[in-house]
Structure 1
Amino acid sequence: MNASTDLLGSLLSACHLSYCVKGAQLLKEVSLTIRPGENLGIVGPNGSGKSTLIRLLAGIARPTWGEVRLDGRPFAALQRREIAQRLAVVEQHAETTDSISLEQAVELGRTPWLSALAPWSDRDRLIVDQAITDVSLQHLKHRPWHTLSGGERQRAHIARALAQRPQILLLDEPTNHLDIQQQLSILRLVHQLPVTTVIALHDLNQALACDRLAVMDGGRLVALGSPFEVLTPERLHATFGVVGHWLTDPFDGARILRLRSA
């Protein structure tokens, strides 16, 4: 199924997005809207188009057909600086080889707001300090980047994105390659942030904390709705090739997915 293209109340929207590389169609007619303040999860098997959709929504890649709109305005009608002031992205493999500290890496998030008429100020310093505090890395702000652990770097990338003061934060599998404690910590942080978030996730049980899920399969959007609406036994089998049913955790009453090979 495709989401409605009605833009009423949407902050960011994809309108009939398709994306081709060397004749291969990676995304096919995807339409959806992201509502202000929501946490939208994007799930699907490997190669389903999750990362491609994130890159198009972020403006990192341009669609072959269709368009992305921010507050109803096409990206093509906006300057890159305008987009960067409203939207931040944390990519799966974001990295730097520069000899910089964690604090300096986070300072890069202020770049879209700086100019000859608006140089670095005390306000920028306060914003950077707050972003580092939000991810609980104050004690590491002067540490060289290359000495940070994978989880610390991922938190720093989120802090850099927060320093942009965006309305929308896009994250492409931010817990990839992290241990379970770091995964849970970063996901808890993301869900607590006071911004609209779009997050591509691999783990379906972790995706249950999202307000809505967009399910991708073969480059198409095949389901959109609350986790409990879209992760049906039929959808789990058809899209993910697994048998699944819901269980209730006796510890806190939460619903969780039990998955088995088909």
Structure 2
Amino acid sequence: MSVLSCSGLGFKVREAELLCDVHLEVAAGETLGIVGPNGSGKSTLLKLLAGLRTPASGEVRLGDKRLGDLSRRAIAQHVAVVEQQADTDDAIRVFDAVALGRTPWLSALSPWSGEDAAIVRQALHDVDAIHLSHRAWRSLSGGERQRVHIARALAQRPQILLLDEPTNHLDIQHQLTILKGVQALPVTTLIALHDLNQALTCDRLAVLDRGRLVALGKPLEVLTPQRLRATFGVQAHYLTDPFDGAQILRLRSA
């Protein structure tokens, strides 16, 4: 059974069609990569799946329930989002910024507790940011802020994690660490990526082109030289890494 799905999903801004007739089912525990050229609809799709935007057509389902029938609090107890350009001007400490991820679980009957604090500390540890806990948000670099955004999402303890190009602004060491850490989490993950070699590590890939889903399947079956030329406008062939036998994409201008 899929934990997140959409059917006939479409979205428009005025007369511009940003997404059209997308059908998708995501299984529990899988990592689904979303790839496509700039403007192909990756960010729009993630926002619709998270309930941050209302579709012009079609519907999104969280398990067997329509997303549109659920409250923001109920959605946030299942789905966490790391947007591409999330920011704040608030004077806030890093620990407190990550603690906001616990908000969907707090109420008058379930106030902040030591368990919540432990979850926040673990989330910061998971993104190699525990040493930033007492730093002011405004003092962080772009890469540090990105790691803190991911920590906030992890502190939410979601069943489904949606990430929009989460390795933006990160150095290569933290790119590799974050991606490996995210894929090791016991959650279902949808992740929009620009780096196609990073995308090869996903369980499945969804390829978007001008708002349409043009391919869906295992990475090596989807990212064929023909598809890469048609969708991305590049020539490509695969090399085998002698270290571990992994397939690596070599890309050139068409």
With the shorter chain as reference, the TM-score category is over 0.9
Compute the displacement of 1:149 (Å).
2.2
The separation in 2 between residues aligned to 1:194 and 1:63, in whole angstroms, is: 29
Percent sequence identity over aligned pairs: 69
Compute the displacement of 1:188 (Å).
2.0
In the alignment, residue 171 of structure 1 is paired with which amino acid? L
Give the secondary-structure state (helix, strand or coil) at the position aligned to 1:132: helix
Of stretches 203-212 and 184-193 in structure 1, the one that deviates more from structure 2 is 184-193
The separation in 2 between residues aligned to 1:57 and 1:98, in whole angstroms, is: 28
- Cα shift readout 1:193-246 (whole Å, capped 9, x = no counterpart): 221110000111110110000000010000000100001111011111111111
Instruction: Kindly indicate whether residue 68 of structure 2 is the aligned counterpart of residue 76 of structure 1.
Output: yes
In the alignment, residue 26 of structure 1 is paired with which amino acid? L
In the alignment, residue 99 of structure 1 is paired with which amino acid? A
Compute the displacement of 1:186 (Å).
2.1
- Cα shift readout 1:30-78 (whole Å, capped 9, x = no counterpart): 0101110010000000111111101101111110001110012101221
What is the TM-score with the length of structure 1 in the denominator? Answer: 0.94
Instruction: Kindly indicate whether residue 238 of structure 2 is the aligned counterpart of residue 246 of structure 1.
Output: yes
User: Is the CA contact 2:205–2:217 (under 8 Å) kept in the aligned structure 1?
Assistant: yes
Superposed, 1:104-183 pairs within 5 Å as 104-183=96-175
- Cα shift readout 1:136-174 (whole Å, capped 9, x = no counterpart): 222221111122222221111111111111000000011
Give the secondary-structure state (helix, strand or coil) at the position aligned to 1:11: strand
Superposed, 1:1-20 pairs within 5 Å as 9-20=1-12
Instruction: Kindly indicate whether residue 219 of structure 2 is the aligned counterpart of residue 256 of structure 1.
Output: no
Instruction: Kindly indicate whether residue 40 of structure 2 is the aligned counterpart of residue 48 of structure 1.
Output: yes
The separation in 1 between residues aligned to 2:124 and 2:169, in whole angstroms, is: 22
In the alignment, residue 225 of structure 2 is paired with which amino acid? P
Compute the displacement of 1:185 (Å).
2.5
Instruction: Kindly indicate whether residue 5 of structure 2 is the aligned counterpart of residue 22 of structure 1.
Output: no
What is the TM-score with the length of structure 2 in the denominator? Answer: 0.97
Instruction: Kindly indicate whether residue 84 of structure 2 is the aligned counterpart of residue 92 of structure 1.
Output: yes
The separation in 1 between residues aligned to 2:115 and 2:172, in whole angstroms, is: 36
Structure 1, gaps ≥5 residues long: 1-8
Structure 1 moving runs of 4+ over 3 Å: none
Give the secondary-structure state (helix, strand or coil) at the position aligned to 1:47: coil
Q: Which residue of 2 aligns with 1:230?
A: 222
